[in-house]
Amino acid sequence: MFIQTEATPNPATLKFLPGRVVLAEGTRDFRSSEEASVSALAEALFTIPGVVGIFFGYDFITVTKDDTDWQHMRPAILGAIMEHFMSGQPILKGEAAGDEDLGEEFFDEGDEETVSTIKELLETRVRPAVAQDGGDITFRGYRDGVVYLTMRGACAGCPSSTATLSHGIQNLMRHFIPEVQEVRQIQ
């Protein structure tokens, strides 16, 4: 099994491509070993010193570290990923599904058409680009001209995420939806 590694715009996060499907549907973001209890692979990765976050996408895994050097972590991460896929175990245990519940979406009555357009732009233009960088972005709400989004994986805590939101996504939304005045991140 050959696992490729790619850098992401976030220097604390690396993207691992095992050459097979990781999650057929949805994504999963783990920020602690307690959250990782639904995945044997996530649990194994959290045992590696320095690992502080794990994100599963369709065909990739991103790992976020503390100030530990990648040179010391990468072999252990590659070993854990390879061992997991060779074992034949599923990525998620039992009934755990893809996307975790991020909470209820919110928007005002009468904004359904605007929200639908926002979601379509996110799905067709934003999420594919963000996934290439090892992350994900999800719609959380819309109110009074402000779009609320959650950034996960390599995008969570990335130094360039503010620029991505304000220059990239906000400009895209304003171009197609004049009612949008601002895009904000919800942690």
What pLDDT digit, counting tens, does each position of 133-173 carry?
Answer: 888 888 889 999 999 888 887 777 666 767 777 778 888 99
Do 24 and 64 belong together in one domain? yes
Q: Would residue 93 count as lying in a domain?
A: no
Higher-scoring residue by pLDDT: 64, 103 = 64
- How far apart CA 142 and CA 25 sit, in angstroms, is 25
Residues in Cβ contact with 140 at an 8 Å cutoff, skipping those fewer than 6 apart = 102, 103, 105, 106, 148, 149, 150, 186
Helix, strand, or coil (residue 33): coil
Report whether 169 contacts 138 (CB < 8 A): no
Backbone angles phi, psi at 149, to 5 degrees: -130, 155
Do 134 and 179 belong together in one domain? yes
Do 79 and 123 belong together in one domain? no
Residue 41: closest CA among 19, 60, 14, 68: 60
- Across the chain, the runs of DSSP E, i.e. the strands, are 4-7, 13-17, 28-30, 51-56, 61-65, 106-107, 135-143, 146-153, 182-185
CATH number, position 44: 3.30.1370.70
The domain boundary, picked from 32, 57, 87, lies at 87
Do 142 and 67 belong together in one domain? no
Average pLDDT over all residues of the chain: 88
Q: Which amino acid is at 158?
A: C
Do 77 and 26 belong together in one domain? yes
The domain boundary, picked from 87, 120, 145, lies at 87
* Model confidence band, residue 98 (pLDDT cutoffs 50, 70, 90): very low
Do 55 and 19 belong together in one domain? yes
Do 77 and 120 belong together in one domain? no
- How far apart CA 136 and CA 73 sit, in angstroms, is 23
Q: Which residues pair with 29 in a beta bridge?
A: 55
Do 66 and 112 belong together in one domain? no
Residue 9: closest CA among 134, 186, 122: 134
Do 82 and 52 belong together in one domain? yes
* Model confidence band, residue 13 (pLDDT cutoffs 50, 70, 90): very high
Do 11 and 67 belong together in one domain? yes
Per-residue pLDDT, 97 = 52
Helix, strand, or coil (residue 4): strand
The whole model's pTM is what?
Answer: 0.78
**Count of structural domains within the chain:** 2
Helix, strand, or coil (residue 115): helix
* Residue pLDDT, tens place only, 99-135: 555 667 888 888 999 999 999 999 888 888 888 888 8
Do 181 and 110 belong together in one domain? yes
Do 114 and 179 belong together in one domain? yes
Degrees to nearest 5, angle at CA 105 with 158 and 93: 70
For 124, the domain range is 106-185
Q: Would residue 145 count as lying in a domain?
A: yes
CATH number, position 145: 3.30.300.130
Q: List alpha helices for 90-177, DSSP H.
A: 112-121, 127-132, 161-163, 170-176
